[in-house]
């Protein structure tokens, strides 16, 4: 089964596979295409829901005038779960998506959480890197020629070096879709403002019987340790992993390892 749809204010999604529900939540100025390197394999064991967050990909924005917080995005995701008749799901999120997954878990809607380089693990005074805004603006300016630019392998390697440790391995289609998502993310400014000056602060609300894995790349240049990787914000029962030779997008840098972490975390939920 595969479908992509928007119904009213529902989120755009792609659904594949069969088994327990597993929701893939992308990061700021990204889209559901971010999961293309691992979604097919995960669909062998799960019904995967790769979604576009509000203001990203094919989903409409929640608002265009005020900051959109991770808590609001979590509520939108929970509305999506309701529309699909899903009570709880395995949640996988990258960067901002990791923060959202943890908020949903704190609201009691998760079977397990795998948070890949999650945002929100910084002190409240810390600000997400300014490089995000520069990259977003550059993508907007170059949008008409992005498909051509990304066909030049040395150039796309250089462009992805900030977010990836193994930038030379990024396939053309992944690079093209990521850059186009950057250029088209209408919710970028609102979502960035919604995170700035705040942090994930609800670890105690995540039930101890919900397995949580938090994984950061050892060379995450966008959210580097230790300033943006404060372990005090993680649930006491969380598994904390450092992924070697990995940047901010483990699903691109180390796809097999990322898939294994997700499966292991979900398996812990089934064994409890």
Pairing outcome for strands 47-51 and 13-17: antiparallel
Query: Which of 186, 249, 245, 202 has the alpha carbon at shortest distance from 99?
Result: 202
Mean pLDDT computed over 91-117: 98
Query: Residue 3 — very low, low, confident or very high, per pLDDT cuts 50/70/90?
Result: very low
pLDDT at 82: 93
Task: For the chain, give every domain's residue range.
Answer: 13-271
The burial class, CB within 10 Å (0-12 / 13-18 / 19+), for 216 is buried
- Mean pLDDT taken over the chain: 91
Per-residue pLDDT, 6: 36
Residue 127 pLDDT > 90: no
Torsion of CA 155, 244, 237, 44, to 10 degrees: 70
pLDDT band at 135 (very low <50, low <70, confident <90, very high): confident
pLDDT in tens, 219-248: 999 999 999 999 999 999 999 999 999 999
Number of helices (H), then strands (E), belonging to the chain: the values are 10, 7
- pTM here is 0.94
CATH architecture of the region 13-271: 3-Layer(aba) Sandwich (3.40)
Chain centroid, CA 12 distance in Å: 15
């Amino acid at each position: 089964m595969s479908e992509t749809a928007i119904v009213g204010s529902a989120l755009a999604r792609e659904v594949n596979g069969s088994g327990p529900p597993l929701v893939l939540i992308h990061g700021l100025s990204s889209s559901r295409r971010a999961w293309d390197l691992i979604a097919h394999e995960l669909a062998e064991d799960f019904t995967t829901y790769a979604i576009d967050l509000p203001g990203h990909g094919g989903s409409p924005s929640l608002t265009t005038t005020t900051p959109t917080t991770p808590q609001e995005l979590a509520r939108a995701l929970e509305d999506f779960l309701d529309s699909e008749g899903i009570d709880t799901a395995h949640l996988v999120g990258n960067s901002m998506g990791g923060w959202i997954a943890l908020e949903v878990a704190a609201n009691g809607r998760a079977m397990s959480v795998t948070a890949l380089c999650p945002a929100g693990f910084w002190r409240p005074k810390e600000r997400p890197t300014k490089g995000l805004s520069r990259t977003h603006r550059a993508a907007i300016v170059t949008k008409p020629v992005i498909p051509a630019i990304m066909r030049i392998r040395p150039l796309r390697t250089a462009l992805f070096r900030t977010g990836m440790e193994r930038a030379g391995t990024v396939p053309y289609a992944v690079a093209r879709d990521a850059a186009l998502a950057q250029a088209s993310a209408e919710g970028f400014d609102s979502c960035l403002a919604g995170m700035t000056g705040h942090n994930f602060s609800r670890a105690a609300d995540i039930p101890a019987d919900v397995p949580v894995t938090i994984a950061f790349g050892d060379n995450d240049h966008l959210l580097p340790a230790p300033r943006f990787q404060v372990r005090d914000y993680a649930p006491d029962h969380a598994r904390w992993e450092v992924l070697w030779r990995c940047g901010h997008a483990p699903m691109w840098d180390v796809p097999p390892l990322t898939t294994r972490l997700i499966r292991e975390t979900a398996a812990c939920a089934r064994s409890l």
